[in-house]
Amino acid sequence: MRELTRIYRQAADKPAIRRMRPEDLDEVMAIEEASFPTPWSRAAYRRELGDNAYAHYLVACIGEAIVGYGGMWVVLDEAHITTLAVAPAMRGRGLGSRVLGALIELAAGLGATRATLEVRRSNLVAQRLYVRHGFVVRGVRRKYYTDTGEDALIMEKEAIRPVPT
């Protein structure tokens, strides 16, 4: 395990980012369950990947291992980020920033001009990440999280653009 951690640490600055596939769900679910008090179900991810034309999900991989993921819906000119998580052992290495950046780039390429998301009021680490990427707080959804009754901050990033090729 120590060797695996060393390899991950060396490669964490350059994870491969690719589209999430159904066969990724075992690893995604392990990260999901370690990251959220009320995780999404495997069935929810299957529906997102198979039945939702607006859904776009990415994974970050180091070698063959999935170490993070994120997802969004792109409807007309808006990307709504639905989820973002990094494996607990890999946090603090910039992987969340890489996944978020890839989502924003993909959204812009799909025609989105702005991005929105909700984040728990208590999740200061995620809020700092979003602010670094240009998101600002636009409002509050009171008691949004049904598991705890916690408020969600509504954050938005305007004027996203595709990266020139």
pLDDT for 161 equals 77
Q: What is the pLDDT of residues 21-36, one digit of tens each?
A: 999 999 999 999 999 9
Q: Taking the domains of the chain in order of start, what are their residue ranges?
A: 2-158
C-alpha dist (Å) from residue 141 to 13, 58, 152 = 34, 26, 5
> How far, in Å, CA of 85 to CA of 68, rounded?
6
The confidence band for 6, taking pLDDT boundaries of 50, 70 and 90, is: low
**Are the C-beta atoms of residues 153 and 127 closer than 8 Å to each other?**
yes
pLDDT for 75 equals 97
Closest CA to 65 of 107, 126, 3: 3
> How far, in Å, CA of 154 to CA of 26, rounded?
30
pLDDT for 14 equals 80
C-alpha dist (Å) from residue 62 to 69, 77, 82, 101, 121 = 12, 32, 23, 17, 31
From the list 105, 118, 150, 156, the catalytic residue is: 118
Residue 9 has pLDDT above 70, yes or no: no
Q: What is the pLDDT of residues 34-77, one digit of tens each?
A: 999 999 999 999 999 999 999 999 999 999 999 999 999 999 99
Closest CA to 137 of 117, 151, 122, 123: 117
From the list 45, 57, 69, 130, the catalytic residue is: 130
The confidence band for 1, taking pLDDT boundaries of 50, 70 and 90, is: very low
* Catalytic annotation present for 33: no
pTM score, whole prediction:
0.89
* Catalytic annotation present for 130: yes
Residue 158 has pLDDT above 70, yes or no: yes
- Residue 164, CB half-sphere, CA atoms under 13 Å: how many? 0
Q: What is the pLDDT of residues 95-134, one digit of tens each?
A: 999 999 999 999 999 999 999 999 999 999 999 999 999 9
> How far, in Å, CA of 75 to CA of 86, rounded?
25
**Are the C-beta atoms of residues 150 and 142 closer than 8 Å to each other?**
no
> How far, in Å, CA of 69 to CA of 28, rounded?
7
**Are the C-beta atoms of residues 129 and 96 closer than 8 Å to each other?**
yes
pLDDT for 164 equals 58
CATH hierarchy code of domain 2-158: 3.40.630.30
pLDDT for 145 equals 92
